[in-house]
Amino acid sequence: MSSNTPSSSAAAAAAGSVDPSAARRNSKRPKYSKFTQQELPACKPILTPGWVISTFLIISVIFIPLGVISLFASQDVVEIVDRYDTACIPPSDRANKVAYIQGAANKSCNRTLTVPKEMKQPIYVYYQLENFYQNHRRYVKSRSDSQLRSVKDENQIDACKPEDDFGGQPIVPCGLIAWSLFNDTYTLSRKNQPLAVNKKGIAWKSDKEHKFGKNVFPKNFQKGNITGGATLNPKIPLSEQEDLIVWMRTAALPTFRKLYGKIETDLHKGDTIEVNLQNNYNTYSFSGKKKLVLSTTSWLGGKNDFLGIAYLTVGGICFVLALAFTVMYLVKPRRLGDPTYLSWNRIPGGR
Amino acid sequence: MTKCRGRRRLHLSNIYAFKGRKSSFQEDHSQIGGPGFSRVVYCNEPNSPASERRNYAGNYVRSTKYTAASFIPKSLFEQFRRVANFYFLVIGALSLTSISPYSPVSSLLPLAFVIAVSMVKEAIEDWGRKKQDIEVNNRKVKVHDGNGIFRQEEWRNLKVGDIVRVDKDEFFPADLLLLSSSYEDAICYVETMNLDGETNLKVKQGLEATSSVLHEDSDFKELKGVVRCEDPNADLYTFVGTLHSEEQRLPLSIQQLLLRDSKLRNTEYVYGAVVFTGHDTKVIQNSTDPPSKRSRIERKMDKIIYVMFGVVFLMSFIGSIVFGIETREDRVKSGGRTERWYLKPDDADIFFDPDRAFMASVYHFFTAVMLYSNFIPISLYVSIEIVKVLQSVFINNDILMYYEENDKPAHARTSNLNEELGMVDTILSDKTGTLTCNSMEFIKCSIAGTAYGRGITEVERSMAMRSNGSTLVGDELDVVVDRSGPKIKGFNFEDERVMKGNWVKQRDAVVLQKFFRLLAVCHTAIPETDEATGAVSYEAESPDEAAFVVAAREFGFEFFSRTQNGISFRELDLASGKTVERVYRLLNVLEFNSARKRMSVIVRDEDGKLLLLSKGADNVMFERLAKNGRHFEEETRKHVNEYADAGLRTLILAYREVDENEYIEFSKNFNEAKNSVTADRESLIDEITERMERDLILLGATAVEDKLQNGVPDCIDKLAQAGIKIWVLTGDKMETAINIGFACSLLRQEMKQIIINLETPHIKALEKAGEKDAIEQASRESVVRQMEEGKALLTASSSSSSQEAFALIIDGKSLTYALEDDFKKKFLDLATGCASVICCRSSPKQKALVTRLVKSGTGKTTLAIGDGANDVGMLQEADIGVGISGVEGMQAVMSSDIAIAQFRYLERLLLVHGHWCYSRISSMICYFFYKNITFGVTVFLYEAYTSFSAQPAYNDWFLSLFNVFFSSLPVIALGVFDQDVSARYCYKFPLLYQEGVNNLLFSWKRIIGWMFNGVFTALAIFFLCKESLKHQLYNPNGKTVGREILGGTMYTCLVWIVNLQMALAISYFTWVQHIVIWGSVALWYIFLMIYGAMAPSFSTDAYKVFIEALAPAPSYWLTTLFVMFFALIPYFVFKSVQMRFFPGYHQMIQWIRYEGHSNDPEFVEMVRQRSIRPTTVGFTARRAASVRRSGRFHEQLNKNFIAF
């Protein structure tokens, strides 16, 4: 943690000056340098009215346009959100949703979405879960990165308890995250024409290439007495199981979206989209919502007005502050150096 | 060599009255061989089996704290004694268990780093001591090798029993038994500066039995002897032992013991036997570790750390409760269903088991404590240490605190107290050697009733100012007295009437001659003639003594040789007008001691006349004058009083001719008394000398100035303007002390002096009667009454709101009573109400007691400054001890925290370095807590969104490197380089110093303000990042936000904000600041890239997170920018408003500098003056007072002088 070279050289100089073995005529006079005498040329900024007002003005001048641009970007995004967790349960079963979802009944469900505006491809399909703690520590830790990466590490399942092995054989991929893989499926069609949802390229490239092995195949997955979520095709290597890869990158917050696939055709305003979905995933136990989301993107990402509004607000506040300070400086010019309020003058006797 | 031969015949012990006495410890010697007295030394046979068996320690001395072997365990132990380090060690240990929220390496590595840095610092410091040890241990000394031959040997190889020969001006390598010296009677002179700080020489004398046979190297061939003596102990003033030699048992005392680290002076050589070596020597037994002092700020910082511990535990507790509840909710419900089934709560281990939710929450508590450990800045201590060391380097290298004359730079011996230097409320100063130079200068004399000497003392100058009330006089005096030019040390006398031989033309030339002769003869100094130039210099027991001989020399009475029974000097013969050499036979020396207060010599002059020459204090001398010797008594008394007023030390010179018979009688009695072994031997001698020293004839008086050090009045004035109170604690007489007080402006005419002493007739009468209890009772009552009266005056003055200043002057005897438990409160009350306090005649113990009283009574920081061994207690007691590395030896410096060469450097040390260090350290600590709270609260907030499962928001390494990498250098740069106000303005506005005294920059208000700022920043970072990166798409490729992206973004904001906050907070930007601040931000991005490029098994979720996810996403950059500015706006607004409308004092000065008002004298004066209660001490105050006074009618001078 050497504070940087100059100070250590100063220390060395000091050490030299106290060296007792140095001959007497070797003066202990400290060497003069601007550095050791603490006289380095320095900028000594001071918050003058000019600086304060111009700082606020500059911030507002930058922030307001940025806010406008961000807001426009967010407004350009077309987003269709459809909550289906309750709707997809037959009214008769709604009293006990958990029993329904855990039952053996047919879970397929049809939803109809209307496109409100032109949507340019690529249109991204997401599922959104709420009140699902993918960031719970027990959950986050319950995976084995090395096992996912290479076959020879498939026995490294220590972190995966209780989803670690099946009958003494390691589960690949092990752990709670993989075990609870989301398993609702969506089949989209427009005007009775199937709408292709491309499920390739939905995962981060680095995950596909470096974290999930090309020759690691699912083993003993979902063989336990309780099935968690989706099953995996044991023929396909993990690096190709993009749904799993997406799911395994745990969300930051209890409400999250995960990419399901891409629609690579434009959708037009007024189009109705039929969604045939398999409502398999149990969010009912913990009263979690499930939503299907179709969204385009802008340069900034998805639909989120927050950033634009925030920029505008802060830009505005800074503008107001600039005005306020101008007024204050004009109205209340204070004779500087009036020391009557210095704290030690207020104490009687000064002690 | 001839000179050496000449010396060998000297039998000095015969002419000294009190020295060379026989040991009178007979009763102690019976204990030899018993417990505590078991040491046996076989002289001259260190390698004999008998002494081998004893196996005494060698002479190797180690002052280092560690050895190579003990360094690791011992310094580790030292490190973990710190509560914060221990905490992190526990955290590190816990991180090895499965309850850890992060990987153990990431928490142990920073700890290891921090500890390693501290240990390296320790090692470097210890290495410095080691080098010193090596130097000392390898010094050479001549050791007898058995055949009468002495050869060079390193100190460390000395063994108990070795015979060594030490030459002039060499240090003694161990405690030696003096066997013989170059003087026939085996005396030698020893300088004990390193032991007790006294510069005067002490006489030691070997036993006659040894000295009579041992003269040469070869005499030691056959020497045998066994010394039985006490075990090693720390008492410097006693030694008990016996020498068994050839059937004789000879008692040994401290008179025969030469102590290690003292120096042989004025003696060609001595032979000695090694008795104690190495760590057994008395000086090393004596060395105690100085009390370790901690600064107020650090103690407060500890409190903050405890508060932070409290906060951590509270947050963990809250988290654990919530976690416990949520975990219990996960219980298996009826029908085998579980709520958060994806966590498999039915199959959970203890940490997450809903059925054992209580235990789970207990475990969680520990996990959370680990998670929040970032609240406690792990690098705080080490950063502060580094900063303080660098600050000390700056202090040591300050060219303006370097004293050319004796080549001494300032030296911060401990770096612990730098910031304390900026908070000093009261300075307790020694007088002699601190305020004054302790170089005595002969400046005036009064001979035969005529005053000579035109030199003007510092005090006279100030007195002239006093009576005229104008500075003009002072300036004129400055013109008159040109103090520059070549000067003779100890002599500052100017008077053409007596200089250059002109004295012969004076009316009283005969008296003048006697006077000068007395100066040349009556002393114990030893001349040294420079062989090359023939110039004579003197070694004297005290600087006064030297001044007299030098003065005599300058008057033309050059004392140049001292032999066993003669004193030779050159003088001008009155009759012939030529320089002649005269030799006086020296018969007896009746030495000076504090009880006698006089010294005399009895000599026989060349005409065979017997003379008693005597000099002494006025009160003892005047009463010893003969009826016919009081010729000039009146004038002399007058002059002596004048001299005393001028702050000079006076001595009366007198003589008488002694009748031959009387001397024979005296000599007989005297020798008898000297050789007696009875207990009342000393009083017997006293009585005999007393009878001799009477019926004297007055010659005149001398005046010696104890000169004020350069710049002392200026410095005191500045310190007073800075609002620092200055107390003078001196061992001097009250008059001298008051005079010095006037000279350095601590006292001035308008001040009411409250004098407390016990010189009342009533008490004197009691003392005569000698009733101890009665004296004590009366004294106590008197002191209390005087204090109460003083207090009443103070209250009266403060209620009438007049700006009267008071000075308290108290003497040592009164102080004894004032410091008693029952009254010390009263005393302190009175003293703190006074502008100046002077304690005279105070003992070292009292000095320390007063210091403790001020320290604990007022609760403010005290600084003690002193130069002598008598100040050691005071220096160690005070919050800061400053030693003057002047002439009085090293004792004070060795026990001080900071050593400076001159009192006046105190000004720069306090006003500039003190203020800087204080403002730096306090800003630094505030900032430290700010950044860690910011960091910790974001972690807490995120955890709240993971249902308190102790999931950290950031990657393990981000978490642990925050303190060490991304925020450490700027804060160190702040601590080392920041200057709120430049040195020039520190001087110009001394009042700035009050910021430290009142602790404004480290008040709870400011600390909590910063903490609040931290909490706000954390809230801004977390919620803004969370909102802007909500569940929606994150980049144009439709990817969404994962934990690593939120964490990375928050962390980026964090690094930017804490560094920008630093940039906003400091007021001094050099290239260093630019490098470290922007470098830290850059380092974060670089780290992110490098770390992200490492194999995913190591970088885990940070793998390629910057390259792939963060950097290409505009929303990442926009979020960073926005959060960054948003979080800083409140501070910016606050600072703008405060700077403009409520500036602190340093900010006002910044404005003054900025607006160029510093050239507007009126404005500057306004800021400087109006801003505090009027200064009451220092010459500025005096000038102001004199202006006030001239406006009013002239008050009588003595009206203000109130003596009780």
DSSP assignments along B1077-1105, one per residue? HHHHHHHHHHHHHHHHHS-HHHHGGGTTI
- Give the one of A7, A18, A102 whose C-beta lies nearest to B976's C-beta: A7
Q: Is the sign of the CA dihedral B914, B916, B917, B921 positive or negative?
A: positive
Instruction: Report B:960-989 residues touching A (Cβ under 8 A).
Output: 964, 968-969, 972-973, 976-977, 979, 983
Say yes or no: B579 contacts chain A, CB-CB below 8 A.
no
- Give the one of A7, A49, A251 whose C-beta lies nearest to B1042's C-beta: A251
The DSSP bridge pattern shows strands A185-190 and A193-195 to be: antiparallel
Say yes or no: B409 contacts chain A, CB-CB below 8 A.
yes
Cα–Cα distances (Å) from B650 to B489, B615, B636, in that order, read 18, 10, 11
The residue that leads in pLDDT, B1163 or B1008, is B1008
Q: What's the burial of B731, exposed, middle or buried (CB within 10 Å: 0-12/13-18/19+)?
A: buried
**For residue range A34-57, what is the model confidence (pLDDT) as tens digits?**
888 888 888 888 888 899 999 999
**For residue range A207-243, what is the model confidence (pLDDT) as tens digits?**
888 889 898 999 888 887 777 888 899 999 999 999 9
Do the chains contact at B1069 and A29, CB–CB below 8 Å? no
How many Å from the N-terminal Cα to the C-terminal Cα in chain B?
63
Cα–Cα distances (Å) from B962 to B152, B379, B935, B1113, in that order, read 59, 10, 8, 24
**For residue range B320-332, what is the model confidence (pLDDT) as tens digits?**
999 999 888 888 7
User: What local confidence, expressed as pLDDT, does residue B939 receive?
Assistant: 94
**For residue range B913-936, what is the model confidence (pLDDT) as tens digits?**
999 999 999 999 999 999 999 999
Mean pLDDT of chain B: 81
- Give the one of A102, A307, A337 whose C-beta lies nearest to B1028's C-beta: A307
ipTM here = 0.90
Which chain A residues are Cβ-neighbours of B1039 within 8 angstroms? 204, 259
Do the chains contact at B1072 and A317, CB–CB below 8 Å? no
- Does A346 have pLDDT greater than 50? no
Helix, strand, coil percent content, chain B, rounded in steps of 5: 50, 15, 30
pLDDT band at B461 (very low <50, low <70, confident <90, very high): low
CA dist B428 and B873 (Å) reads: 12
Sorted by sequence, the CB contacts under 8 Å of residue B775 that are 6+ apart come out as B763, B766, B767
Do the chains contact at A342 and B397, CB–CB below 8 Å? no
Virtual torsion, Cα A172, A173, A174, A179, nearest 10 deg = -120
pLDDT band at B464 (very low <50, low <70, confident <90, very high): low
Residue of B nearest to A145 (CA): B1097
**pLDDT mean over B258-264:** 85
User: What local confidence, expressed as pLDDT, does residue B40 receive?
Assistant: 85
Among B41, B20, B7, B1, CA closest to B181: B7
CA dist A248 and A131 (Å) reads: 17
The DSSP bridge pattern shows strands B880-884 and B861-866 to be: parallel
Say yes or no: B1029 contacts chain A, CB-CB below 8 A.
yes
Cα–Cα distances (Å) from B615 to A106, B178, B517, B598, B683, in that order, read 125, 33, 12, 6, 21
Instruction: Report B:342-381 residues touching A (Cβ under 8 A).
Output: 342-344, 347-349, 351-352, 379
Q: What's the burial of A49, exposed, middle or buried (CB within 10 Å: 0-12/13-18/19+)?
A: middle
B31-40, B305-314, B399-408 — most confident range: B305-314
**For residue range B795-821, what is the model confidence (pLDDT) as tens digits?**
887 776 666 788 899 988 888 888 888
Residue of B nearest to A135 (CA): B946
User: What local confidence, expressed as pLDDT, does residue B1169 receive?
Assistant: 55
Instruction: Report B:1129-1148 residues touching A (Cβ under 8 A).
Output: 1129, 1132-1133, 1135-1137, 1139-1145, 1148
Virtual torsion, Cα B1165, B1171, B1174, B1178, nearest 10 deg = -60
CA dist B1015 and A250 (Å) reads: 28
Distance to chain A for B133, nearest Cα, Å: 11
- Inter-axis angle of helices B357-371 and B296-329, nearest 10: 150
User: What local confidence, expressed as pLDDT, does residue B77 receive?
Assistant: 87
Residue of A nearest to B1067 (CA): A44
How many Å from the N-terminal Cα to the C-terminal Cα in chain A?
41
B1050 with B938: CB under 8 angstroms? Answer: yes
The residue that leads in pLDDT, B976 or B6, is B976
User: What local confidence, expressed as pLDDT, does residue A52 receive?
Assistant: 93
Do the chains contact at A176 and B409, CB–CB below 8 Å? no
Do the chains contact at A339 and B983, CB–CB below 8 Å? no
User: What local confidence, expressed as pLDDT, does residue B1199 receive?
Assistant: 38
Strand-pairing partners, residue B558, are B570
Do the chains contact at B1148 and A339, CB–CB below 8 Å? yes
Residue of A nearest to B115 (CA): A1
Q: Is the sign of the CA dihedral A22, A27, A28, A30 positive or negative?
A: negative
Say yes or no: B1100 contacts chain A, CB-CB below 8 A.
yes
User: What local confidence, expressed as pLDDT, does residue A344 receive?
Assistant: 47
Instruction: Report B:681-740 residues touching A (Cβ under 8 A).
Output: 723
What tokens appear for B431 in the block?
Answer: 């007088």
Say yes or no: B1005 contacts chain A, CB-CB below 8 A.
no
CA dist B990 and B1086 (Å) reads: 46
User: What local confidence, expressed as pLDDT, does residue B465 receive?
Assistant: 58
User: What local confidence, expressed as pLDDT, does residue B973 receive?
Assistant: 92
Say yes or no: B121 contacts chain A, CB-CB below 8 A.
no
Do the chains contact at B340 and A43, CB–CB below 8 Å? no
**pLDDT mean over B1047-1054:** 94
B890 with B196: CB under 8 angstroms? Answer: no
Task: Please give the model's pTM, rounded to 2 decimal places.
Answer: 0.81
DSSP conformation class of B491 = B
Do the chains contact at B1034 and A302, CB–CB below 8 Å? yes
Query: Of the ranges B189-198, B437-446, B1023-1032, which one carries the lowest mean pLDDT score?
Result: B189-198
Do the chains contact at B397 and A37, CB–CB below 8 Å? yes
pLDDT band at A251 (very low <50, low <70, confident <90, very high): very high
- In three-state form (DSSP H/G/I as H, E/B as E, the rest C), the secondary structure along B612-629 is EEEEECHHHHHCCECHHH
B103 with B114: CB under 8 angstroms? Answer: no
CA dist B1011 and B305 (Å) reads: 12
DSSP conformation class of B152 = E
Sorted by sequence, the CB contacts under 8 Å of residue B886 that are 6+ apart come out as B406, B433, B437, B438, B867, B901, B902
pLDDT band at B1198 (very low <50, low <70, confident <90, very high): very low
Over pLDDT 70: what percentage of chain B?
A: 86
Among B807, B795, B788, CA closest to B741: B807
- SS3 for B687? helix
User: What local confidence, expressed as pLDDT, does residue B1 receive?
Assistant: 35
* Residue type for position B556: G
Helix, strand, coil percent content, chain A, rounded in steps of 5: 35, 20, 45
Strand-pairing partners, residue B242, are B228, B251
Instruction: Report B:908-947 residues touching A (Cβ under 8 A).
Output: 916, 945-947
Residue of A nearest to B118 (CA): A1
- Does A71 have pLDDT greater than 90? yes
Do the chains contact at B1028 and A304, CB–CB below 8 Å? yes
- Inter-axis angle of helices B1114-1141 and B1004-1028, nearest 10: 150
- Give the one of B386, B969, B1163 whose C-beta lies nearest to A337's C-beta: B1163
User: What local confidence, expressed as pLDDT, does residue B1015 receive?
Assistant: 95
Among A346, A53, A341, CA closest to B1142: A341
The DSSP bridge pattern shows strands A123-129 and A290-295 to be: antiparallel
HSE-up (13 A, CA, CB side) for residue A289: 13
User: What local confidence, expressed as pLDDT, does residue B13 receive?
Assistant: 52
What are the backbone dihedrals phi and psi of residue B83, each rounded to the nearest 5 degrees, phi first?
-65, -40
